[in-house]
Every structure is written in C-alpha cells, then in structure tokens.
C-alpha cells in the first residue's frame, strides 16, 4: 500500500512568512492536518505490527498469497517482484508488476497476506478498467502540476497583491485535492476486492479475515487523513485570499 503522505507538504512552510507579519491563526489548520495524518500513520503502523506477528494458518507468504489471489482472479500477465523498504508495496500498471516489500514478500503473517492481496486488488481493478482507477490515472499530470505550482503561484499573488494569482493558486491546489478524493474509492475498493478473494478462496479463515479488515481499514484511513489535511490547507488558502481582499 502506498502510504506516502501527499502533495501539499510544501505548504507547511508558509507559517514563517505569516508569523513575520502578524500571528497567522490559519496556520493552526495546517497543524491540525498534520496531527490527523500523524495519528492515522501511527494507527496503521500499530495495527500492521500487531498482525505481522500473527502467522496465517495456511502458512502462505505474501508473495504466495498474491500468486494465488491473481490466479483465482484469472490474471496471468502480472509479475510479482520483491522490493526493498518498509510498506513500499505497490502495483505498477505500466509494467504490470506487483512489488512486495521486505515485510510482505516472504512473511507468512496475516498482515503480509492482506497487504499483498490489497495490491492484487489494484491489479484486478486495472484489468477490469475500474472507473475511479482510470479517472485517477488521468488526473496524475494535473495533480502533479497542481501540487508543484499551487504554492509558488499563491505566494506571488500574496506578495504582489494580485487576486487572479491567488485564484489560480487555489484552483491548482484543488486539483491535488481532487486527486486525493478520487484515490479514496480506488483504495477502499482494492481492499474489498482483496478480502473477497481471500475469503472465497479460503486463503484466510474467519478470525484472520477480521484481523485483515483491521489492517486494511487502518491503511485506508491514512488516505482519508491525507485528504482531510489537504482540505484544511485548501480552506486556509481560501481564508488567506479572502483576508487579502479586505486589506
Ligand atoms: Zn492501495
């Protein structure tokens, strides 16, 4: 699963500029977002650690479980590879390669099996051209542009008191937020596909599935937290732009 907390980190730096002129209370929105993301991240790490100590009854490793989930889903053209790092697991649709990290590939824990199956969920979405996934891929360039340019453009708008630049900055930032919004159904759906195959294929038993739901649920919450943090930052930009109008 991809746990990178996204797009808008460059925005955290703005507080210095605000504090230089006056106490910028809107910075509290950034801090609130940061806290939400930290809590979600600690939660997923805790849940993952807990279930990475629970051995799956089948004894299948993450890689073997992924093989089985793909096979049960009728997918034959996806390769499974090992990738270094912690929670760096992902499915690469361009090369049709499913990469599983150290803690997933050769571990036979419930957590490893569930994370591997979740990545298979993305491969299944890709094969079936699942709508939100297609939309998400389409949005990648716009989201990258938005997260790179939103802050510089907005800052120029503030410095030169140019309203159109502030608006463009807000629109650019909204593109990044939109991308995060579309990411939610993609992630939730990958997990529900994964759990369905794990259950129907008899790869995990009932108790194990309950644990798996907790692991994947905690992972999904990190995406919700990232979105919430970005929405708070968007709100902040809107408030700052509005304040500048009144100056
Ligand atoms: Zn995912």
What is the model's pLDDT at position 140?
A: 95
187 catalytic, yes or no?
no
pLDDT tens track, the chain, 247 positions: 433 333 333 344 444 454 455 568 899 999 999 999 999 999 999 999 999 999 999 999 999 999 999 999 999 999 999 999 887 999 999 999 999 999 899 999 999 999 999 999 999 999 999 999 999 999 999 999 999 999 999 999 999 999 999 999 999 999 999 999 999 999 999 999 999 999 999 999 999 999 999 999 999 999 999 999 999 999 999 999 988 766 5
Whole-prediction pTM value? 0.86
- Distance (Å) from CA 207 to ligand 1 centroid: 23
Q: Give the sheet arrangement for strand 97-100, strand by strand.
A: 79-82, 97-100, 90-92
- Distance (Å) from CA 8 to ligand 1 centroid: 20
How is residue 31 written in tokens? 């801090």
24 Cα distance to chain centroid: 29
């Amino acid at each position: 699963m991809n746990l990178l907390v996204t797009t808008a980190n460059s925005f955290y730096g703005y507080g210095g500029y605000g504090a230089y002129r006056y106490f910028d209370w809107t910075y509290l929105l950034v801090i609130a977002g940061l806290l939400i993301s930290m809590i979600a991240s600690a939660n997923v790490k805790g849940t993952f650690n807990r279930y990475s100590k629970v051995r799956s009854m089948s004894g299948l490793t993450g890689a073997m479980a992924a093989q089985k989930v793909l096979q049960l889903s009728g997918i034959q053209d996806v390769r499974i590879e090992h990738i270094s790092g912690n929670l760096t697991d992902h499915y690469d649709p361009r090369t049709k390669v499913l990469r599983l990290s150290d803690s997933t590939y050769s571990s036979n824990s419930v957590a490893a099996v569930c994370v591997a199956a979740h990545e298979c969920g993305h491969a299944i979405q890709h094969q079936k051209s699942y709508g939100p996934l297609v939309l998400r891929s389409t949005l990648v360039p716009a989201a990258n542009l938005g997260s790179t340019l939103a802050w510089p453009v907005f800052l120029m708008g503030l410095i030169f008191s140019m309203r159109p630049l502030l608006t463009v900055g807000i629109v650019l930032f909204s593109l990044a937020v939109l991308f995060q919004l579309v990411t939610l159904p993609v992630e939730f759906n990958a997990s529900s596909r994964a759990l369905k195959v794990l259950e129907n294929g008899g790869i995990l038993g009932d108790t194990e599935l309950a644990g798996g739901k907790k692991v994947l649920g905690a992972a999904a919450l990190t995406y919700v937290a990232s979105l919430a943090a970005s929405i708070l930052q968007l709100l902040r930009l809107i408030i700052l732009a509005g304040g500048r109008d009144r100056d």
